[in-house]
Amino acid sequence: MLVAISQRGERESKYGSVDILERSYGEYFDRFDVNLIPVPNVGRVLKKYFHQLKVEGIILSGGGDVHPSLYGGDINYPGNYSSDRDETEKSLLEIALDQGLPVLGICRGMEAINVNFGGKLIQNLEKDVADALNHRGTRHSITVSEDSIVNSMETDTFEVNSYHDLGIGTQQLSSQLIPFAVAEDQTIEGLYHPEHAIAAVMWHPERENSLHALNEFLTNAFISRKLFWRDRQG
C-alpha cells in the first residue's frame, strides 16, 4: 500500500526551510507493508503526487502545532508553527475528500482534522481543563466507545502514550466529527468523520517499543478500509 504522509515544517536554517519526518513512522508502517511517500510542504506540487503515483491513503503526522489563527485561538501563544504545513495538510484533506482516500491523523494530525472541519483547540490543557491529566511525555488510560473495537478487543480500556500540549474537548470538537475514545479528564483521544473515511488518534502508534494491540487493530482497519475507513463511495 502506498500512502502519502505529511511532514513537520521546521523553521528556516542557513539552508532554507526544512521538512522532517521521523524515521519511526517508516519503521512502524513497514510492519504492515505500507510504503510511505513523504509530502513536502509545498502545496502547489501535491496534485502531481496524486496524479503520477497510485497513492491509496493519507497520514497526517504528529509534531508541531496548528496555527491559532485558524481556529480563533490566541495568536501570541507559544508554539512550533508552520503556515506551509497548515496549507499542505488542508490540501491533503481536500484531495482525500475529492478522491475518496482514507485518512489517518496522528496527534497534531488529529488537531488539524478537527480544525479543518470547523473545530477548535484547547491551547493550555493544564489551565483550561478541570482535573487535567499530564499529557506531555507520559502514558495514561483511555476509554473507547466504539462497539466494534470493544467487542473485538474484549475491553473498552487501553493505555496509550501521550505527547501533546494542546487538546480537544467536547466544546472544541467539530460538529461534523464524532469521538470514539476519551481520556480520564474527558479530553478526546480518538475521533472520526461519519460520512468520510477519516479518523484520528491523539497518541503516537509509531512511538511504541512493541506492537500495541489497539494500534495494530486500528492500523489494519485503515489499511483494509474497514471500521472508520470503510469505502463510502462504493
Q: Can you list the pairs that 152-155 forms with residues at least 24 positions away whose Cβ atoms lie under 8 Å?
A: 152/217, 153/213, 153/214, 153/217
Q: Which residue has the higher pLDDT, 233 or 106?
A: 106
- Secondary structure (3-state) at 207: helix
- The answer to whether residue 209 scores a pLDDT higher than 90 is no
- Judged by phi (left if over 0) then psi (alpha if -120 to 50, else beta), residue 56 lies in alpha
Res. 233 pLDDT band, cuts 50 70 90: low
* Residue that has been written with the C-alpha cell 473498552 in this structure: 156
- Residue range 183-189: average pLDDT? 94
pLDDT for position 193: 98
- The answer to whether residue 80 scores a pLDDT higher than 60 is yes
pLDDT for position 231: 85
- Secondary structure (3-state) at 86: helix
- H-only helix segments in 72-199: 83-99, 108-116, 125-128, 147-153
pLDDT for position 147: 97
